[in-house]
Amino acid sequence: MHERLLRSKGLKLTPQRLMALKAIEEGGHIDIDQLHDSFNRLGMKIPLATLYRILGELSSVGILHTVTLSGQKTRYEIAKGDHPHFLCEQCGQLEDLHITMNKIASIAQQACIHTTHSVSIMLHGICQNCSAFPAIDKEGS
């Protein structure tokens, strides 16, 4: 399945690439360090430099999509079309919002005289989990 993806882009199948795709698929929206940890947990040593290269390639061919966040590490997700995200300001978790971008884009487009190719929308707030347990510090003190 990921094999098809890679082949379709003319990329060779390597364990590193397959593992990266698997981890990102399972992890949802993860940054490079979380990805690196996924490798380590399975005993697969991989240099960050290689991960950066893999993530860059997969992004540039459109297999991955990057979410750039102010002051935070870039998150990666399997590309599945534009959609809004919700970022929890407390725990940093990123969630997909299930709404077609068309609605939003069409409204934004009303104010925009240019040709729009894509729209990125990020909501910032506090997620349900953090609302329920506001004092819990994930990072540990």
Residues lying near DNA in the complex (CB under 7 A) are found at 11-17, 32, 45-50, 52-54, 56, 73-74
114 binds, among a second copy, DNA, none (CB under 5 to 8 A by kind): a second copy
**Is the CB of 32 or the CB of 101 nearer to DNA?**
32
Question: Which residues neighbour 11 within 8 Å (Cβ) at sequence distance 6 or greater?
Answer: 17, 57, 58, 61
Should residue 27 be labelled a site residue for a second copy when binding is judged by CB under 8 A? no
Least distance in angstroms from the C-beta of 23 to a second copy: 21
98-117 positions binding a second copy, by CB under 8 A: 98-99, 103-105, 107-117
Binding residue (CB under 8 A) for a second copy from 5, 20, 24, 88: 88
CB-neighbour burial class of residue 91 (10 A; exposed 0-12, middle 13-18, buried 19+): middle
Rounded to 5 degrees, φ, ψ at 107 are -70, -45
Q: Would you say how long the chain is, in residues?
A: 141
Q: Looking at residue 28, what DSSP letter applies? A: S
Token pair 């002051």: residue = 71
CB of 24 to a second copy, least distance (A): 17
- Tokens for 99, please give them: 């709404």
97 φ, ψ to 5°? -105, 135
Q: Which residues bind a second copy (CB under 8 A)?
A: 66, 68-71, 74, 84, 86, 88-89, 97-99, 103-105, 107-128, 131
